Chain A
Amino acid sequence: GESVGLHLPTLSVQEGDNSIINCAYSNSASDYFIWYKQESGKGPQFIIDIRSNMDKRQGQRVTVLLNKTVKHLSLQIAATQPGDSAVYFCAESLSGGYNKLIFGAGTRLAVHP
């Protein structure tokens, strides 16, 4: 399949390790944040979201942390698997919903056996 991006920052991890992907968002007024996973040749897929009144939210093997003070978002993936290899994007919203999401630049996660 085609590559989503050729010059993205890349995080390389061993299978079974935990991964942390970071994102700096741009607008201090953003009140809703989403992490997306995009595999090669596919569209972005929702992973987990968080609202600005929270600083942590957990899903299945994933945790999102929000630090509004420094406008920083992180995605933690526990026990990373080869199927987690993809490009990960954070997105922010000023409207509390999906009207006009602003996507970050993306990070490529490469999982090695």
Chain B
Amino acid sequence: EAGVVQSPRYKIIEKKQPVAFWCNPISGHNTLYWYRQNLGQGPELLIRYENEEAVDDSQLPKDRFSAERLKGVDSTLKIQPAELGDSAVYLCASSRRTGGDGELFFGEGSRLTVL
């Protein structure tokens, strides 16, 4: 079974530029999570989807971050415009069940560097 696939693996941009990350969850997984991991720290939840609905986006900085999960499968996380403090690894995870019940499987992450 293929794991969670994320792209790009690495992205370097200048501040104020836009950037987008893509996630393909494990087939059949209904819940999708985006986490941000700053250097030397644990991941922090940005947004959680159950199917196509964003059920928890309370920690997503909505002034510059947006996300979508069309058709309840793939998801895109966008930052516009990027700031220096956005440099981090953006992790996508998925789980089979909804309601927070079900082990998380993480992708390898997309590492963003903002110059």
Interface of A toward B, CB cutoff 8 Å:
2-8, 41-46, 89, 91, 93, 95-101, 103-106
The list of the 6 closest CB pairs from A to B, nearest first, reads: A103-B42, A43-B106, A97-B100, A5-B40, A99-B100, A89-B42
Apart from the given pairs A100-B45, A100-B100, 14 other A-B contacts in the complex at a CB distance below 8 Å: A42-B108, A43-B93, A43-B108, A43-B109, A96-B100, A97-B99, A98-B101, A98-B104, A99-B48, A100-B56, A101-B104, A103-B41, A103-B43, A105-B40
Q: Say which residue of B40, B91, B95, B108 sits within 8 Å of A98 (CB atoms).
A: B95
Q: Establish whether residues A106 and B40, one from each chain, have CB atoms under 8 Å apart when the complex forms.
A: yes
Q: Establish whether residues B40 and A8, one from each chain, have CB atoms under 8 Å apart when the complex forms.
A: yes
Q: Establish whether residues A105 and B41, one from each chain, have CB atoms under 8 Å apart when the complex forms.
A: yes
Interface of B toward A, CB cutoff 8 Å:
4, 31, 37, 39-45, 48, 56, 91, 93, 95, 99-104, 106-109, 111
